[in-house]
């Protein structure tokens, strides 16, 4: 399956090249990020987004702290420490970001080379993170495809596809692999308020791959289930606690409740880098609150009166009791969950 690649090294000088997801579905615009701050801003503003992809961007972005060969060891280490802290602060919920940045930072602490050697070593590690993610996506797809019967009508939320990862996605990887294996299927993509990752991104990447997709407003999902039009739901995750509680894009939790009510399997797909052994339950997951302007005036037109109060959490937590199975690169996990 030929999928879009949203993040790579810039082929021109030091930099990280991203497909700017704020521009989709209107324009396919690639941008080169040249500084740590460029990467921080790209993550904050969702030009690059999705838990695995922001981890990869953070790891690659860290190397940009060392663009100046003249830095001595102390200056280089201080630049990396500052960059790591700044990048990790860009978004708090997806554990993949801290996981990937810390992995590269730990390697820096162990490397005793000069700035140029250190940069090369960190660049290799960030490349490994990207390549490992690609392989993990493929394995998630293979495990997930075993849960997708021929003719399945699948509901998904947000974008857990190639645009959100270094490979073919997580939730959408299962769909891509099922399709590769010759099954016919149909996808329903929740629009995903307020930033429309479902309609702008999931519908874009599935259409591009030739997979039939229908967009619906988030509030229509339960009715579609009641009408008997959905066979299974599959979504991604930004952090999975030890007990299997899963944080994902706001609107996932009500979807899981509706699926339970209608007896529809509800699956969560994520790589091992999304499991957080230091979080016992979903209650401990920090939920990012985003700016009121996303709700009051999302894409240019005012959608609420000026100054009105806004509640705009970016994620919610689905309790593990509502999750039929969690699909990872390690296999299909069934309850009771215990991830370490």
**Does 92 engage in binding with ligand MRU (CB under 6 A)?**
no
Q: What is the DSSP string of 139-182?
A: HHHHHHHTT--TTEEEEE-S--SGGGSSSS-SHHHHHHHHHHTT
Question: Which tokens is 1 given?
Answer: 């399956």
Site size toward ligand MRU (CB under 6 A) is: 19
d(C-alpha 171, C-alpha 192), whole Å: 15
CA triplet 204, 250, 54: central angle to 5 degrees? Answer: 60
For ligand MRU, give the closer residue by CB, 24 or 152: 24
For ligand MRU, give the closer residue by CB, 67 or 330: 330
Binding mask 21-60 for ligand MRU (x = CB under 6 A): -------------------------x--xxxx--------
Among 86, 139, 249, 296, binds ligand MRU (CB under 6 A): 249
CA triplet 311, 317, 323: central angle to 5 degrees? Answer: 145
**Does 320 engage in binding with ligand MRU (CB under 6 A)?**
no
Strand segments (E) across 83-231: 152-156, 185-190, 213-216
Measured in degrees and rounded to the nearest 5, phi and psi for residue 49 equal -155, 175
**Does 170 engage in binding with ligand MRU (CB under 6 A)?**
yes
**Does 323 engage in binding with ligand MRU (CB under 6 A)?**
no
**Does 160 engage in binding with ligand MRU (CB under 6 A)?**
yes
For ligand MRU, give the closer residue by CB, 50 or 144: 50
Element spanning 119, H or E: helix 115-145
In the residue annotation, 102 being an active-site residue is answered as no
Q: Assign 70 to helix, strand or coil.
A: coil
CB–CB of 192/218 below 8 Å?
yes
Own/partner pairs, 26-30, CB within 8 angstroms, 24+ separation: none
For ligand MRU, give the closer residue by CB, 78 or 289: 289
For ligand MRU, give the closer residue by CB, 65 or 203: 203
Q: Assign 59 to helix, strand or coil.
A: helix
**Does 158 engage in binding with ligand MRU (CB under 6 A)?**
yes
d(C-alpha 238, C-alpha 246), whole Å: 7
For the CB of residue 318, give the shortest distance to ligand MRU in the complex, in Å: 11
**Does 329 engage in binding with ligand MRU (CB under 6 A)?**
no
For the CB of residue 269, give the shortest distance to ligand MRU in the complex, in Å: 8
d(C-alpha 40, C-alpha 33), whole Å: 10
Residues in region 190-219 near ligand MRU by CB under 6 A: 197
CB–CB of 61/36 below 8 Å?
yes
For the CB of residue 199, give the shortest distance to ligand MRU in the complex, in Å: 13
For the CB of residue 124, give the shortest distance to ligand MRU in the complex, in Å: 24
CB–CB of 205/159 below 8 Å?
yes
For the CB of residue 163, give the shortest distance to ligand MRU in the complex, in Å: 9
d(C-alpha 157, C-alpha 271), whole Å: 17
Stretch that binds ligand MRU, among 70-78, 165-173, 181-189, 295-303 (CB under 6 A): 165-173
**Does 189 engage in binding with ligand MRU (CB under 6 A)?**
no
For the CB of residue 309, give the shortest distance to ligand MRU in the complex, in Å: 22
For the CB of residue 50, give the shortest distance to ligand MRU in the complex, in Å: 4
Q: Which residues are tagged catalytic?
A: 238
Binding stretches for ligand MRU (CB under 6 A): 46, 49-52, 94, 158, 160, 164-165, 169-170, 197, 236-238, 248-249, 314
């Amino acid at each position: 399956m030929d999928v879009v690649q949203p993040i790579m090294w810039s082929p021109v000088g030091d930099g990280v090249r991203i497909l700017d997801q704020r521009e989709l579905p209107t324009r396919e615009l690639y941008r080169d990020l040249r500084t740590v701050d460029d990467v921080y801003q790209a993550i904050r503003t969702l030009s690059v987004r999705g838990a695995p992809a922001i981890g990869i961007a953070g790891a690659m972005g860290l190397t940009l702290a060392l663009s100046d060969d003249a830095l001595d060891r102390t200056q280089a280490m201080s630049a990396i420490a500052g960059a790591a802290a700044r990048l990790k602060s860009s978004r708090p919920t997806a554990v993949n970001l801290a996981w990937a940045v810390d992995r590269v930072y730990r390697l820096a602490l162990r490397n005793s080379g000069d700035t140029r050697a250190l940069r090369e070593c960190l660049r290799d590690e960030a490349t490994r993170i990207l390549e490992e993610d690609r392989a993990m996506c493929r394995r998630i797809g293979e495990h997930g495809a075993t849960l997708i019967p021929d003719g399945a009508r699948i509901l998904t939320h947000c974008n857990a596809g190639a645009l959100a990862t270094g490979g073919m996605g997580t939730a959408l990887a299962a769909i891509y692999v099922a399709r590769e294996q010759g099954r016919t299927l149909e996808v329903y993509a929740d629009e995903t308020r307020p930033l429309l990752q479902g309609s702008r991104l999931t519908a874009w990447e599935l259409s591009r791959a030739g997979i039939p997709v229908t967009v619906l407003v988030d509030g229509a999902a339960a009715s579609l289930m009641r009408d008997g039009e959905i066979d299974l739901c599959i979504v991604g995750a930004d952090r999975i606690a030890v007990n299997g509680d899963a944080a994902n894009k706001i609107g996932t939790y009500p979807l899981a409740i509706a699926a339970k009510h209608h007896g529809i399997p509800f699956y969560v797909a994520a790589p091992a880098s999304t499991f957080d052994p230091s979080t016992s339950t979903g209650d401990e997951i920090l939920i990012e609150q985003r700016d009121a302007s996303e709700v009051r005036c999302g894409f240019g037109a005012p959608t609420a009166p000026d100054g009105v109060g806004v509640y705009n959490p970016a994620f919610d937590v689905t309790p593990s009791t509502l999750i039929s199975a969690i699909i990872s690169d390690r296999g299909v996990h069934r309850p009771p969950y215990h991830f370490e």
